[in-house]
Structure formats: C-alpha cells, structure tokens
Amino acid sequence: MRIEDVRRRTTTPLTRPAFAPVVPWFIDREYLNIVYRTDPDALRAVVPEPLRIEEPLVRFEIMKMNDVTGYGPYTEGGQAIQVSFDDEQGEYLHAMYLDNFPATAAGREVSAYPKVIGAPKLYVDQDVLVGTLDYGTLRVATASMGYKYYPLDLCEAEAQITVPTFMLKAIPGYDGAPRVLELVRTDITDVVVKAAYSGPARLQLFQHVLAPLADLPVLEIVSASHILTDLTLAPVKPVFDYLKGDAR
C-alpha cells in the first residue's frame, strides 16, 4: 500500500476499518430523558474545569437508534451533566454505554464521546416506558416513565436535546504522557422532532465499580420526556487546551 493510500485512511485496521467513513444520519432516534437533582460535591468531583456547575442537575438518557447510516440500529444510555462555559449553558457528557462497536469506536476516535460497551434497552411494558442499562451481567440503571402521559411542545422538546455538548478528548502518547488533552464542543443539527411527551418518572441507579452511575445519586426527579426525532451530529471543535492552559 502506497504512502498516499495510507494517508487517505481514517481508522484501523487498514483493510477492515472499525467504522464507516460517513457522517451518520439518525432516523427515528427515540429518547427517554430523566433529569434529576444530585449531590453537588459528587458533581464537582467529576466535572473538569473550566466548566462550571450552576445547578446540580443530571440528565439520565436511554436512546434507541432505530436507523443510523453506517452503523445500523443500536441503543445507548448514559449521563449528561448540566454545565456552563463562557456564559453558554450546555451539558457535559459524563458517561455513555452502547451495544454497537463501530459506533463506540467512531464516537471515541473521530470525536470525544465517552463511549464504552454496555447493554442498554428501551421498550414499552404495558403503560410504562422502560429504560434499562446493564454492564456485563449486572443491572446498573432502571428508568421508568408513564407512557405518553402528556403531550410535550415540540419546540420545547427540540430545545431539550439541542443544547451545546461538551466532552473531554484525551489521547496518550507512546510514552504514556498526554498527547491530546482538550475540552471540545459539539451540538445536534438538522433536527426534526416527530413526537414528544412528558410524564411521571422514576430512576434507580445501582453501585458498580466500572459503571459508577450511582456515584451521582438520585435525590429528586425534576422532569422526564419521551422524544422521537431525526437528526445529525455536528463535528466537534476544541474550546480549551489543557496542555497549553488556554481557550482555543
């Protein structure tokens, strides 16, 4: 393989890339969102500066990707923490677990999504929307919401899922020292909200050493939503370089 051919590749293995070189389009992406109040000290222990915590709020989410170009259907779950950066309100993606390796690899290599393999599920159980997350054979989260209790304004639903997203991009060098260490920002674009609902909800988090969602304990449920939408993800942009100590 010639040098110029190698330069055109974006991922390894060279002859069988870990993921397709496409910008994914999400069709019928289904959200279960539960926003809850947690311990402020627990948040301060995991949210990196220069992000700031205005209120101790976390959004637990289970997302069922029914049709994604390049990756196929999969399900994802995790936690997003409400933060601010330079007076802009957004979310810091704290943890993401999904059941699709190409989407996991692409999210971490191309962008900075904190993705690892897990086993989330989203389904309807009689009159309840249920979201679960397992790590290995152990349950680490169970969420439930009344199924389509109250209509939610579509503009409000879009506002919930399109806030700016911040993530930490960390790539070590061959000597183990950081080679890339950046705070990055992205957002959701081309949004078409097809349906949205709110309703009563509950969330249980269970202790696990390698899936520590319960380290951000549930003190109070603030809101819940069930949203169906089409969308794409914008490319990430660095906003702070930890190795230089300045904004990008």
- Residue (of 29, 56, 228, 221) closest to 144 by Cα position: 221
Query: pLDDT digits over 41-72, tens only?
Result: 999 999 999 999 999 999 999 999 999 999 99
What is the set of active-site residues?
Answer: 115
**Is the confidence at residue 15, as pLDDT, over 70?**
yes
Give the confidence band of 247 by pLDDT, cuts at 50, 70, 90.
low
- Give the separation between CA 223 and CA 57, rounded to whole angstroms: 11
Give the confidence band of 10 by pLDDT, cuts at 50, 70, 90.
confident
Query: pLDDT digits over 140-158, tens only?
Result: 999 999 999 999 999 999 9
